[in-house]
Amino acid sequence: MRKIQVAITIRSFNKNNLSRETFIKRCEVSFINATSRRLTENELIQALEGADAVIAGTEHFGKKIFTACPGLKVISRVGVGVDNIDIEAAQKNHVVVLTTPEAPVQAVAEHTIALLLSLMKHIPMYNENMRNGNYCVKPGFLLCGKTVGIVGMGRIGKKVASYLDGFGCQILYYDPFVQTVIPESWERVEDLENLMRRSDILSLHTPPKPDGSPIITSELIDCSRRGLIIINTSRGSVLDEQALMNGLDSGVISGAGLDVFSVEPYAGSLLKYPQVIVTPHVSSNTTQSRDQMETDAMDNLLKVITGVEE
């Protein structure tokens, strides 16, 4: 019986994952991305030649991919979002798309808090200044007592809110689709404008719009409470980057912590702002979470491709 042909196109994959040995016994790995970068469209087509399934990262699966790779049956993503995949084209070509929604929750939530505390306590500034012999002091801010607006009360948004609640923050949230049980002390806000007018801190944990247009626009930033801090660990398209820079210039926005950008890897103008802390889309990249995501992606693929039920 022919083994299932699987391409591993994600830019990094742990060779020492304990589940990988079992996975390789049941599948024939036809390709492994050794470039340490996201594959281009043409590279992806070549990698998927003859493949039944793929362990994928953030590489773009557009219509051309599905046309060029008719044997593809499963895309098993290491991660949560599917905005890098043309879902309509996948469905039309009968390709199953799988994700790993549970594994990155803890890591992304902790990274969100790390970005926020680094901003409020000026940690990157002090770290750089001390190494240059500069011991000037700039007062920081207490997180306790701040009003935090959470956009998107899914798994990660809820985890971030629980941490901030523990710090003594007032929690507001906007999510028209939320169905989970929310503590009564957290206040639901029905529109984003009201949320931003009332928040000291805005934390974004929402999927992008299908058309890629921003959710946090210049109009919303203009009506924000002055001094707002914005944290984005969701997707770059959620936040209008030019509007953010305009807000930083005007002082409406006092700082931002960003792990995601409209174009990645990012080398744009936001890097010129000292009140912006940036990381290169690594919020879920802890040893434990990454290992679990890869394990879940392999397990998900095997369950579908072999017809094994949970």
Number of domains present in the structure of the chain:
2
Of the candidates 8, 44, 96, 2, which has an alpha carbon nearest to the alpha carbon of residue 294? 8
Active site residue 128: no
Of the candidates 238, 292, 279, which has an alpha carbon nearest to the alpha carbon of residue 105? 292
Residues 270 and 164 in one domain: yes
pTM: 0.88
Distance CA 231, CA 73 (A): 37
Which member of 235, 241, 290, 294 is catalytic?
235
Active site residue 235: yes
Active site residue 59: no
Helix, strand, coil % in the chain, rounded to nearest 5: 35, 20, 45
Q: Could you list the pLDDT tens digit for every one of the 310 residues in the chain?
A: 578 899 999 988 876 676 777 787 888 999 999 998 899 999 999 999 999 999 999 899 999 999 999 999 999 999 888 989 999 999 999 999 999 999 999 999 999 999 999 999 999 999 999 999 999 999 999 999 999 999 999 999 999 999 999 999 999 999 999 877 789 999 999 999 999 999 999 999 999 998 889 999 999 999 999 999 999 999 999 999 999 999 999 999 999 999 999 998 899 999 999 999 999 999 998 999 989 999 999 999 988 877 643 3
Cβ 12 vs Cβ 36: under 8 Å: yes
Q: What is the CATH number of the domain that holds 143?
A: 3.40.50.720
Which member of 49, 88, 102, 264 is catalytic?
264
Domain that holds residue 15: 4-103+287-305
Residues 153 and 269 in one domain: yes
Distance CA 188, CA 182 (A): 9
